[in-house]
Structure 1
Amino acid sequence: MKKLELKFLNEDGKVVTISLDAPVEPADPVAVGAAMDEIISQDCFLSSGGALVQKKQARIVERNVNEIEL
């Protein structure tokens, strides 16, 4: 399963991650950056360390799970 992770810094300088399932690939860096800017400007998410104030990183993460039969 793949996720798009948007990482921000909050007012305390700590990293806050917002994860979205099933990202469109290839990711459009301009669109992702614009979406992150909009999240910051709308002030729609609050973390324990305050509002999101700066973009830090965006990445697509893939996680593979292999069940082990017992």
Structure 2
Amino acid sequence: MKTLELTFNAEFGTARISIRNPKEPIDPAQVKAVMNQLVTTDVFKSPNGDLVSPKSARVISRETQDIELP
């Protein structure tokens, strides 16, 4: 499973938004444009206040493997 994690500078620290199973390939320019739009439209509120600016984005990959017990 992959998760796209968007990190923003907020009024009182940082804020994160996680998106499961993002559409690939991920276009960095499009990610930044969407992040800027989220800041501008003020759609999300965080415990650390309003989103101020994009900080970073990353894709987190997780792999699960079952272990058969004897």
Q: What TM-score, normalized by structure 2, do the two folds share? A: 0.86
List gaps (5 residues or longer) in structure 2. none
Q: Residue 69 of structure 1: CA displacement?
A: 4.2
Aligned residue number for residue 3 of structure 1: 3
2: distance between equivalents of 1:64 and 1:17? 22
Q: 1:35-65 deviations in whole A, cap 9, x for unaligned?
A: 0000000001111121010111111110112
Q: Percent same amino acid at aligned positions? A: 45
Q: Runs (4+) of structure 1 moved beyond 6 Å?
A: none
The alignment of Structure 1 onto Structure 2 pairs a total of residues equal to 69
TM-score (norm 1): 0.86
